[in-house]
Amino acid sequence: MAWIAAGTAAVGLASSIYGGIKSSKDNQQAENQVDQYGKDTEAFYNKRINQDFLQTNAAKGLVEQMKERYRKQAKEIESKAATTGSTPEAEIAAKTTANDEFNNSLNSVAQQGTYYQLQNEQNYQNSLADLFNKKLQINRMKNQNASNLMGIGSQLMGTAGDIGSMDKEK
């Protein structure tokens, strides 16, 4: 009967060791993936936060449209002044208004750049919080696995003891 207790304990111990090793490898793989996610997030953030919004395709397109609209407006002002015979002061006043509109539009684009930076910062903070939660989850899994292994070991010792005592009673 003692050989049954020893065999049961050995099988249980072997399966616990295998489970522990498998769990450890899975946890390490999860940690590596989370670490890579963190590196990718950091690289993306550094690229975005250091990028001048006015150098993005969206901003360049807006500014180009504004310049084109300003050029057309200036030509229309000059053409209208020549056709209607308006005074140079009236032409200057119209061009000043066009300049003010252009500057206001450019200021709006600059404000969008500020929003762009703030949005990138918020996305980065959200990614860091997600990363922290993932690491916390991995640590909880490790603790649960260790607890499970200790419980299995305790059960094995109890089973071996029960079988051993049954052998002594005979």
Q: What is the mean pLDDT for each group of 10 consecutive residues in the chain (170 residues)?
A: 64 71 80 87 82 83 92 91 87 92 90 86 89 86 76 69 62
For residue 99, what pLDDT is reported? 93
Helix (H) or strand (E) holding 58: helix 57-84
Q: In 3-state terms, the chain is what percent helix, strand and coil (to 5)? A: 95, 0, 5
For residue 6, what pLDDT is reported? 65
Residue 113 · residue 53 · CB < 8 Å: yes
For residue 161, what pLDDT is reported? 66
> What is the residue extent of each domain of the chain?
2-169
For residue 70, what pLDDT is reported? 92
For residue 48, what pLDDT is reported? 78
For residue 166, what pLDDT is reported? 62
**Which residue, 58, 24, 33, 51, is CA-closest to 141?**
24
CA–CA gap between residue 96 and residue 82 (Å, rounded)? 17
Q: For the chain, what's the residue count?
A: 170
For residue 71, what pLDDT is reported? 93
